[in-house]
Amino acid sequence: MDGVRDFLADIKEHGQARGNFLGLLHVVIGRRIQKSDGTLVSAGLSWRDLAALLKKIRWDPEAVRELGLDPRQLPPRDRQRYWYSAITLARVDSPEARAAADRLAATLQPAGYVIGPTPTVQGSK
């Protein structure tokens, strides 16, 4: 999980997810993330683990506005619950999230990250 923490901190520092928070959530939860040299960063995280990381690196709580959420409507005192609630409401499995993740993947490639494709569900077309 240290690799994901470093990945999120790097993206936060360079502002690469600004305007594409939904795509970031989709990528970290459901896609394979590697460095351009092939080093595995993540094969996907649970919602709970992602919420804990967002709390730990102090991601800007205002980012939920990009998801159409009002920060005042989320649990204010427990940041892990705050982020978990936001992820739950974000619809990270929607077609919009997949498209946002594809845009983010293209943005991150010059920064040295390779984002895998959206996983497919067996039996779907």
**Per-residue pLDDT tens for 48-81?**
999 999 999 999 999 999 999 999 999 988 999 9
* Structural domain contains residue 123: no
DSSP conformational letter for 35: E
Residues in the chain, how many? 125
DSSP conformational letter for 16: T
Number of domains into which the chain is organized? 1
- Angstrom distance (rounded) from CA 110 to CA 96: 23
* Structural domain contains residue 17: yes
Domain holding 100, by residue range, is 2-115
* Structural domain contains residue 26: yes
Q: Is the pTM of this model over 0.85?
A: yes
- Angstrom distance (rounded) from CA 41 to CA 38: 9
Angle at 63 between CA 58 and CA 67, to 5 degrees: 140
* Structural domain contains residue 124: no
* Structural domain contains residue 46: yes
